[in-house]
Amino acid sequence: MSPAAVTVDRLEKTLGKNKVLRGISLEANAGEIFGLLGPNGAGKTTTLRVICTLLAPESGSVKVLGFDTLSAPEEVRRRVGVVTADIGVYPRLSARENITYFAQLSGVPDGELKQRVGAVIDRLGMESFANQRADSLSSGQKQKVAIGRAIVHDPEVLMFDEPTSNLDVLASREIREFMVESRGRGRCVIFSTHVLHDAERLCDRVTILHEGSVVATGSTAEVRGRHRDLEDAFLELVL
Amino acid sequence: MSSVLIVFKKELREVVRDRRTLIAIGLAALATPLIMTVISQLATKTATQTYTVGYSGEIPIGLDVLLQATGLKLERVADPATAARQQVDIGVVFQTAQVDEYYDPTRQSAQIADTRLQTVLGRYEAAKAEAALRERGVDPGVLHPLPIKAHPLSSPIKAAGNAFLSFFLPYILITMVLTGGLSAALDSSAGERERKTLESLLLTPAPRSRILIGKILAISTISLVAAIAAIGSMLLALTQIALPGAEGASSRITLTPLAAGVMVWLAILLAGTFSSLTLALGTLAKNFRQGQAYATPLYFITIFPASIILFIPDFNPNLVYYLIPILNAVLVLRDAIVHNTVAWPALGVTSASLVVAGVICWLAALRLFTREALLVRS
């Protein structure tokens, strides 16, 4: 069996006076959608931020494709793409310019830039608004720009943090389809959500966090266990 | 392409598409010559304006001609003291051996009329005394046993022009370097947090120090463009308008190549320092508006040194004073404009001081930019 794409080992993190993560461990593999579940404040976003090097671990360790987040943060960031619920884009740049900017900063060579950005625009179906200024785009279109900038450097690990929370039904479905497609391409997809229905449909394996600790982990079927669905199992675990 | 250059180009592109910054630069470029023109018009008007003297009594022969030639219009009134309060600019009672003058020092027109009257009366008295001495066969030279012949080392009119420029140029330079790039600096720091692009930016493998340098270079460029646009338009305006000088002569103010060179060098150093400083303040802020609140005290802090030249024109401090950022730039620029010289030790200390201040501000901005709290607070 190949080593896990993302390994989190006994991770602890305090923000201000709050102990947000209390020794969590998990592993996410290539070619799977891994669900990071839990109520608001459980520590999902903090976990993702430590994995992508935005926050440093207080204790424990995090490795992405063998690179430690503390000793090789730039190598980690080269291999990770993150999509969050905050679909902030540069309003005075076009959709294409937004994606190009991130491609350049992610180290896409100048010679490949145009082709790589064009491929992302094709893949996400953005041709009709690619040259439009971002401040004139709809939420769904902005979310596509956010996805485009996260995947333009072709990362092996993709993380989605509550990606559908600000989107309508159609845009949400496109995100879900994109995650499934990425799994099919052999990417490791980490999906953080509190919408358990989405998780049940998409995830191969899940970890449930509650108050900074792991309360359940395993395949979706294992965690659901004897319960009717993941929501029931979740409620029994956290209440 | 280097990440510094990538960030620099992107920031400039955003600024070029940002109406706020463009309007600020455009207004500065238009406002400066407009202000110069208004000042020139007011100065000309003050110099040529006629003021009214309300008088009673008999005017000594010949004095009326002298007064009218100096722009003082005579108007007979019943009570000069009362008339001097509002009706006329000054009131005068001509008596046989004395002239009583009434004026309100709080009125500028009264002050100017008073100065003119004193000058005319002084000349009239001197002429009368000389005539009386001649009648008695005495050389009028006895009235001036030690005459002074002045030999000004430079043109007094030019000196007045330089004094004017030595205040306005540093003032406009500092103000425009600060305000020209302020909007871009806040947009590039607090704005990133406000529109939630910061996290994505920090997720790229580009080192944060290089991202920051790219931003600072872009903001410095905007600041320089704003300052040069404002000063360029001011100098252009000064070639077209004339400020009235003494004896009716008028002066046209020009900047020497040396002063222009010093100005550009100081503008570059100031732009680097201010860009780092405003970026650091913007990084502390959660949004654009909060950033503006943090930056507001900077206006007062930076404008104060420029005002020193206005209040103490001959302020000639020792080298230690040139360690104080902004004040040192004002002093060096003043010397370059007024004396057309550069004291190289002073320029060296000034440059070192501004570079050190810029580096400190850059390190502060970098420290703030790499704090975890930057993301957690947002």
CB count within 10 Å of CB B27 equals 12
This prediction's pTM:
0.80
Q: Pairing between strand A59-64 and A6-15?
A: antiparallel
Mean pLDDT computed over B327-356: 87
pLDDT range class, residue B244, cuts 50, 70, 90: low
Option in A49, A52, A90 nearest B197 (CB): A90
Q: Are A87 and A142 in contact (CB under 8 A)?
A: yes
pLDDT of B62 reads 86
Mean pLDDT computed over B226-251: 70
B161-182 confidence digits (pLDDT tens):
666 677 777 888 888 888 888 8
Mean pLDDT computed over B145-172: 74
pLDDT range class, residue B158, cuts 50, 70, 90: low
Find the closest chain A residue to B207 by CA distance: A74
Q: Which residues are within 8 A (CB) of B236 and not within 5 positions of it... i.e. 6 or more apart?
A: B33
Q: List the one residue out of B365, B377, B374, B332 whose CA is nearest residue B350.
A: B332
Q: What is the residue-level pLDDT of chain A in tens, covering all 239 positions? A: 567 899 999 999 998 888 999 999 999 999 999 999 998 889 999 999 999 999 999 999 999 999 999 999 999 999 999 998 778 899 999 999 999 999 999 999 999 999 999 999 998 889 999 999 999 999 889 989 999 999 999 999 999 998 887 777 887 888 888 899 999 999 999 999 988 888 888 999 999 999 999 999 999 989 888 888 888 888 888 77
Mean pLDDT computed over B108-135: 90
SS3 assignment, position B243: strand
Interface residue B376 vs chain A (CB under 8 A): yes
**Tokens 């012949």 appear where?**
B149
pLDDT of A155 reads 93
Chain A contact probe: residue of B197, B208, B210, B371 with most A CBs at under 10 A: B197
Integer CA distances (angstroms), A133 to A52, A90, A93, A116, A129, in order: 29, 9, 5, 20, 8
Q: Do B205 and A74 touch (CB under 8 A)?
A: yes
More confident residue, A56 or B316: A56
- Beta strands across the sheet bearing A205-210: A80-84, A157-161, A188-193, A32-37, A205-210, A213-219
**Distance (Å, whole) CA A217 – CA A36:** 9
Q: Do A84 and B207 touch (CB under 8 A)?
A: no
**DSSP annotation string for B305-344:** HHHHHHH-TT----GGGGGSTTHHHHHHHHHHHHTS---H
**Distance (Å, whole) CA A34 – CA A7:** 12
Could you give the percent of chain B with pLDDT greater than 90? 33
pLDDT of B142 reads 85
Interface residue B205 vs chain A (CB under 8 A): yes
φ and ψ of A7, to 5 deg: -125, 120
Structure tokens at B145: 């046993």
**Tokens 């970890």 appear where?**
A207
Using N-to-C axis directions, what is the helix angle for B327-338 and B257-284, rounded to 10°?
160
pLDDT of B159 reads 67
Longest CA–CA span in chain B (Å) reads 100
Chain B contact probe: residue of A67, A90, A94, A114 with most B CBs at under 10 A: A90
Chain A contact probe: residue of B8, B10, B200 with most A CBs at under 10 A: B200
B23-79 confidence digits (pLDDT tens):
878 887 888 778 777 877 776 677 678 899 999 999 988 888 889 888 899 999 999
Strand runs (DSSP E) across A4-148, as ranges? 6-15, 18-28, 32-37, 59-64, 67-68, 80-84
Q: List the one residue out of A122, A153, A155, A124 whose CA is nearest residue A140.
A: A124
pLDDT of B226 reads 87
In the predicted model, is pLDDT for residue B300 greater than 90? no
CB count within 10 Å of CB B321 equals 15
Interface of A with B in 84-123 (CB under 8 A): 84, 86-93, 97, 101-102, 104-107, 110
**Tokens 């993560």 appear where?**
A21
Q: ipTM score of the complex? A: 0.89
pLDDT of B317 reads 81
In the predicted model, is pLDDT for residue B242 greater than 70? no
Option in A15, A78, A84 nearest B199 (CB): A84
B245-279 confidence digits (pLDDT tens):
544 555 556 677 888 888 889 999 999 999 999 99
B190-228 confidence digits (pLDDT tens):
999 888 899 899 999 999 999 999 999 999 999 999 888
Q: List the one residue out of A211, A201, A109, A106 whose CA is nearest residue A148.
A: A106
